[in-house]
Amino acid sequence: MGENTARKPNEAQKPSLKAFVADHKAEFHKITWPKRDEVAKKTVTVIVLSIIIAAIIFCMDTVFTSVQDLAMSLLGLL
């Protein structure tokens, strides 16, 4: 009786696979890629900062553990 044969709005606007790939290829060519030396500098920066942060966390953990052990021994819980 009242069959709805109307298409959904998304189906009418769906591009073909060929158009989809062509659009992505065109966008890919618009990308400005960084130079090799810029990538190397940023990589070294990330590695150095990671090592520094790891050292800070290690030192803080060591201090907090020592303080906790001292407090426990003073309270006679250890």
Report pLDDT digits (tens) over 29-68. 899 999 999 999 999 999 999 999 999 999 999 999 999 9
Determine contact, residues 15/23, Cβ cutoff 8 Å: yes
C-alpha span between 35 and 38 (Å, rounded): 5
Q: Give pLDDT, residue 35.
A: 96
pTM of the shown model:
0.60
Where in the chain are the domains?
Answer: 34-78
Q: Give pLDDT, residue 51.
A: 98
C-alpha span between 49 and 46 (Å, rounded): 5
